[in-house]
Structure 1
Amino acid sequence: MLAGLLLQIVTALRRGDVGLDIVAALSMSAALGFGEPLAGNVVALMYAGGQLLETFAAGRARQEMTALLGRVAHTAMRYAGSSLEEVPIDSILPGDRLLIRHGEVLPVDGTIAGSRAELDMSALTGESIPVHLLPGAEALSGATLTGDPVDLLVTRPAAESTYAGIVRLVEAAQSSKAPMARLADRYAMGFLVLTVLLAGAAWILSQDPLRALAVLVVATPCPLILAVPVAIISGLSRTARMGVLVKHGGMLEALARVDTAILDKTGTLTAGLPAVTAIRAVPGVTEDDVLYRAASLDQASGHSVAAALIQAASARAVILSTPSATVEQAGEGLHGQVDGRLTAVGGLDYVTTQLTAGSFATLAEGLPIAAMTVAVAIEGRPWGLILLQDAIRPDAVASLAALRAAGIRRIVLASGDRADIAQAIGTELGVDTSLGDLKPADKLALLTLEKSATGLVMMVGDGVNDAPALAAADIGVAMGARGAAASSEAAGVVLLVDALAPLAKAIVIAKRTRTIALQSVFVGLGLSLAAMLAAALGYLPPVQGALLQEAIDVAVILNALRALR
């Protein structure tokens, strides 16, 4: 035992790590040197028992994170013509159609086809209530089908799916350095020096080497090397259960002390995808007919606006027809035949060039500032306007209120969108400051400014353009469910679900975890120091001191596990 411990200490010293294992080695060596083998054996047993307790507690704390890894699907049922074949998920490609059976975990991201799906999203969100998705809705890998079998149209290969990304992040978090090692390191050297000085003083003043041995024994192992890792792993596990992956203990500690949040707009406070909010039709034409013409033609386009129109038509149960002779001008619009009639769909400027009579002037009066407008013309005449907006997330207002309740004193909206749009959304959400027209370099400058004016700054974003700011922030938070891979890699915290609400819960958990960790350390150290003084004065023999310290260690570990609740 002692030889292995000495080898471990030498290896750590070569890395520049000075740990409290030195105290354990000193106490065992002193016990052998002073002819007290029983005390040495008790210390060795106590030290091994402490490590076993820590391993058990850490394993208990990691259960939620480990459960994520155990849900990875390896095969799926894929349609091959009129039959089904079981294939490895690595062979699944976008466009494939899969059969998902009752109780199965979705292996890849896709859209629901055929019928409504009932999904258990608890592995991703922590929410136990099943979610019902209509045909055409996006379904994320990692969810479990709790209803009848459904078909899934694959949108991403398995390696790029939401759940695969989560698994990679969890594996990276589990293999990272021991959580909150910085906190233990902060006090370890001081405790080591104090232990050696107190043991030396007891020996010199009493001329009894057993008093020095008793001091060393009582100091082994130590709440610093037991309670802190257990508490922080518990906190990491608890946040993972809430749908928030904190990559390491240092980030959890920072999350507990953050007081300023900078939030990107698109994809963070808003849905990140355009949605139809209103339809204006010329007299004699219905809203559904305008949508029918636009969505039918847009089936030939891969633009995100086209997808929004098609989804809106599906929600209204509008049956579309197949377009023909389509010609698309990228980023502008397209025209072609729908039911034998020339149809044009796109931006106002593009569709206006397709008109041979009339204009959109009357329909376009009083358009909202933040609205995106899609014009529709039939046979060279205005037919209608479809208004789309990147809608504010339904939970955005409540999520920001929860962030303030969790201790965030200042909230800044930072967007690359137009300044007037950012200002309008910021006013509606009640943030402290709203800034628009920001490039990635501008967001970095904003971070620097906020850091100098306040305390720790948290940046929340989801796009590739947010990655530099996420990396530079004290706490970078990525919207991992839909966000770009670059942002998830750069961030220290990843939201595993496409929602902002779990972030406030994670901050509360981080604060509670840090409090429990510090409480365990200071109470444990206080008890240890009291026992060390008693040992130095001769009131606590080595063997009894070792047993007392073991009781203290068990108490602080049990206290640290409270972070799981």
Structure 2
Amino acid sequence: MAADQRINTQGILRFSASRVLLLVTVLIGVVAGVLWRIQYPVASWLLIMTAVVSVLHSLWGMIVNIRKGHVGVDILAIVALMSTLAVHEYWAGWVVVLMVFSGEAIEDFAESKAQRNLEALVEAAPSVAHVQGQAPGQESSWNTVPVGEVNVGDTLLVKPGETIPVNGVLHSAQATLDMSMINGEPLPVDLYEGSKLSSGAINGASAIEMVATAKSSDSQYQKIIELVKSAQESRPAAVKTADLLAVPFTVVSLAIAFMAWGFSRDPMRFAEVLVIATPCPLLIAAPVAFMGGTGRLAKAGIVIKAQDILERLGEVSHVFFDKTGTLTQKKPRVDRIELSAWSQQRGVNPDQLLISAGMLEGYSSHILARGVETAALDLIHARQLPRPVVNDARETTGNGVRAKVADSIIAVGRLKFVDSTVTDGQIASEFPALASNEMVTYVSVDGHMAGRIILKDFPRDNAKDMIRRLDALGVSRVTMLTGDKSDSANIVANAVGIRDVRAELLPEEKVAAVEGARIEPSVEPGRAARLVMWLKGLIGINTEQNISMMVGDGVNDAPVLAASDIGVAMTDGSSTAASESAQVVIMNDDISMVPKGIIISRQTRRIMLQAVFGGIIAAILCMIVAAFGAIPAVLGALIQELIDVVCILWALTAIIDRKITS
């Protein structure tokens, strides 16, 4: 946390310095205005010294930027100030100084506004945890320790209003958590014993106990913070392009100024042109727009590793999806219950059979157990049914669970475990055949086959709409990559609307499929994308149009996520592999964020281009008019200030949520 506090302190000091310089400039202007008639020499020297200080300040800033590898147009402000002093246009020089310091103040305000969503994540990071300890001869107590000292398996107490410190499992019967800091979900979420907890969630009104399943450094929230810091420190290619445009803009501005001076033989024209040469759209508007877009993504639960990714999101031409856990719901869900002839003869209630089986599955570690248990708990809560008491539950690993429920012995699991006397032929004659995407667990009562529970890994409810939206955005090349068999993959693909299915793939074959997308014909880019590509080509930047995106769960898709141009990992907070292998992490496990991220990228780039080129065009037109002597120096400086403010404020609108259209 010390590093985070240091970063925030630096930001506060920088913001305060820019405000102080702006305030001093305004005060000097007021004093000089009062003294202008009665003490002209004093007023003049005040304005001259203000201009000199600003020149030195701009020179230092230019040197710092060059050392960082950023090309700037500070030279224009320096030359403009010196020219106003040379022709004794002190008030025009003061306005230019006002522009320099107000531009810095607006930039600081804009960036702090845009980064608020990102910094909120960092500031809310948990720093301590209450760990259960027991002194000899005493009852267990809670020791408050730094979160870094929490070990896997520790029992933790989370007080009301505190942040879940590490990933874990809920030990209390129930908890209500605020997940908005990690997935943007505004409504509290109710969880029950055994549910997974993600670091960064905020506990509700009651204290809860949990068991840590990861150390602090491996927990989801800390991984998010690493991504946030990476994004804050990066610069997108579009911003670098804007930096490089500073060179031709400076040349054009100086050329207009010298020509105006040369044709008119009046040095005043040189100053009148340069005070309008506004650098702020290039220096400030581009980074502010992209920081705004980054903050808007974070607000939607999309965290990017670098701001370059924000620009490339809008250029995606081919999207690859993993099947299981990405297009499907990650966990098998109960589809139906099939009763045996024995159960039908005795009038067994299928809901009660599900509830009994679900209570037993709470003692199982099998992959299907959670789906049965969840369906049973949902039924109990929906109908307010009594929860049966389970006694003497024993799991046979890999086979099932047997226990006493009421006066009966219930067994849940594999066929031979629940009833060893039943043959596969008898099952085939009594129950219909399973589809390729169906899974089954059997239930017996007092040794008699009672029925079976059919589970499916269903497609996500919004997956089909998501594919439709991608197509509407012009991203028509969509492919499913999976290691599953073709018939199972095609069932999911047909349900969500994907036509290109590549099944039964090994990990290296998935990587080859994604890498092959780079040589496929590209889709036609939009107008903003074409303009950016033209500018990149003009200054020698690679304009490759084929951008591949791989969307997976971040656990077993690490190689293909890393191989794609943009790797997108979807997580509900339980997976930490996501931030290691992907450039984008969707924190709310919502697949609809894929097209939304593309839309935010395109909107951000559009706003950036409007701010940058709008400012450049307005400045050049005004410089041409000033070259004919139609705009006095003081008025020109005021016009330049107005252009700067409008461009920067327009760039700041990138953080505002807009109607989600292409």
TM-score normalised by structure 1 residue count: 0.86
SS in 2 for 1:503: helix
Residue matched to 1:239: 297
Shift of 1:57: 1.0
Residue matched to 2:117: 64
Q: Deviations over 1:396-422 (max 9, x none)?
A: 233334444455333322222222211
The whole-number CA distance in structure 2 between the counterparts of 1:501 and 1:318 is 39
Letter paired with 2:467: L
The whole-number CA distance in structure 1 between the counterparts of 2:576 and 2:158 is 26
Q: How does 1:155-554 map to 2 (within 5 A)?
A: 155-177=213-235, 180-185=238-243, 187-280=245-338, 282-284=340-342, 296=360, 299=363, 302-312=365-375, 314-315=377-378, 317=387, 319-323=389-393, 328=397, 333-334=398-399, 338=403, 355=420, 358-359=423-424, 360-362=427-429, 365-374=432-441, 384-451=451-518, 452-455=520-523, 456-482=547-573, 484-554=575-645
Residue matched to 2:32: none
Shift of 1:49: 1.7
Relative distance call for 1:433 and 1:483 in structure 2 (3 A) is farther
The whole-number CA distance in structure 1 between the counterparts of 2:295 and 2:502 is 35
Residue matched to 1:100: 158
Relative distance call for 1:277 and 1:50 in structure 2 (3 A) is same
Residue matched to 2:103: 50
Q: Are the counterparts in 1 of residues 278 and 644 from structure 2 also a CA contact under 8 Å?
A: no
Q: Are the counterparts in 2 of residues 140 and 162 from structure 1 also a CA contact under 8 Å?
A: yes
Q: Are the counterparts in 2 of residues 76 and 88 from structure 1 also a CA contact under 8 Å?
A: yes
Q: Are the counterparts in 1 of residues 313 and 598 from structure 2 also a CA contact under 8 Å?
A: yes
Q: Are the counterparts in 2 of residues 109 and 141 from structure 1 also a CA contact under 8 Å?
A: yes
Shift of 1:517: 1.5
The whole-number CA distance in structure 2 between the counterparts of 1:342 and 1:297 is 14
The whole-number CA distance in structure 1 between the counterparts of 2:325 and 2:556 is 12
Shift of 1:494: 1.6
The whole-number CA distance in structure 2 between the counterparts of 1:208 and 1:229 is 38
Answer with 522-531 or 149-158: which moved more. Answer: 149-158
Letter paired with 1:430: G
Shift of 1:492: 2.7
Q: What is the aligned residue count?
A: 557
Residue matched to 1:564: 655
The whole-number CA distance in structure 2 between the counterparts of 1:473 and 1:199 is 48
The whole-number CA distance in structure 1 between the counterparts of 2:180 and 2:402 is 45
Shift of 1:198: 1.6
Identity across aligned pairs (percent)? Answer: 35
SS in 2 for 1:128: coil
The whole-number CA distance in structure 1 between the counterparts of 2:181 and 2:174 is 20
Residue matched to 1:75: 128
Relative distance call for 1:222 and 1:91 in structure 2 (3 A) is closer
Q: How does 1:23-34 map to 2 (within 5 A)?
A: 23-31=76-84
Relative distance call for 1:191 and 1:563 in structure 2 (3 A) is same
Q: Deviations over 1:129-164 (max 9, x none)?
A: 332233333333322334444433433333222222
Q: How does 1:4-153 map to 2 (within 5 A)?
A: 4-13=57-66, 17-31=70-84, 39-80=92-133, 82-153=140-211
Q: Deviations over 1:28-57 (max 9, x none)?
A: 344456665654454333212211111111
SS in 2 for 1:412: strand
The whole-number CA distance in structure 2 between the counterparts of 1:402 and 1:439 is 29
- What RMSD in Å do the two structures reach over aligned CA positions? 3.5
SS in 1 for 2:173: coil
Shift of 1:59: 0.7
Shift of 1:320: 3.7
Letter paired with 2:312: A
The whole-number CA distance in structure 1 between the counterparts of 2:262 and 2:99 is 27
SS in 1 for 2:589: coil
Letter paired with 1:304: I
Letter paired with 1:60: K
Q: Are the counterparts in 2 of residues 363 and 385 from structure 1 also a CA contact under 8 Å?
A: no
Letter paired with 1:505: K
Relative distance call for 1:14 and 1:164 in structure 2 (3 A) is closer
Answer with 401-410 or 523-532: which moved more. Answer: 401-410
The whole-number CA distance in structure 2 between the counterparts of 1:379 and 1:93 is 43
Answer with 81-90 or 540-549: which moved more. Answer: 81-90
SS in 2 for 1:361: helix
SS in 1 for 2:199: coil
Q: Deviations over 1:533-553 (max 9, x none)?
A: 122222223333222111111
The whole-number CA distance in structure 2 between the counterparts of 1:122 and 1:335 is 37
Q: Are the counterparts in 2 of residues 217 and 542 from structure 1 also a CA contact under 8 Å?
A: yes
Q: Are the counterparts in 1 of residues 257 and 627 from structure 2 also a CA contact under 8 Å?
A: yes
Shift of 1:112: 3.5
Letter paired with 1:18: V
The whole-number CA distance in structure 2 between the counterparts of 1:364 and 1:183 is 66
Q: Which runs of 5+ in 1 are unaligned?
A: none
Answer with 5-14 or 407-416: which moved more. Answer: 5-14
TM-score normalised by structure 2 residue count: 0.74
Q: Are the counterparts in 2 of residues 281 and 290 from structure 1 also a CA contact under 8 Å?
A: no
Relative distance call for 1:187 and 1:161 in structure 2 (3 A) is same
Relative distance call for 1:265 and 1:258 in structure 2 (3 A) is same
The whole-number CA distance in structure 2 between the counterparts of 1:9 and 1:401 is 48
Letter paired with 2:498: V
The whole-number CA distance in structure 2 between the counterparts of 1:496 and 1:335 is 34
SS in 2 for 1:478: strand
Letter paired with 1:358: T
Shift of 1:363: 5.2
The whole-number CA distance in structure 2 between the counterparts of 1:293 and 1:449 is 47
The whole-number CA distance in structure 1 between the counterparts of 2:122 and 2:463 is 30
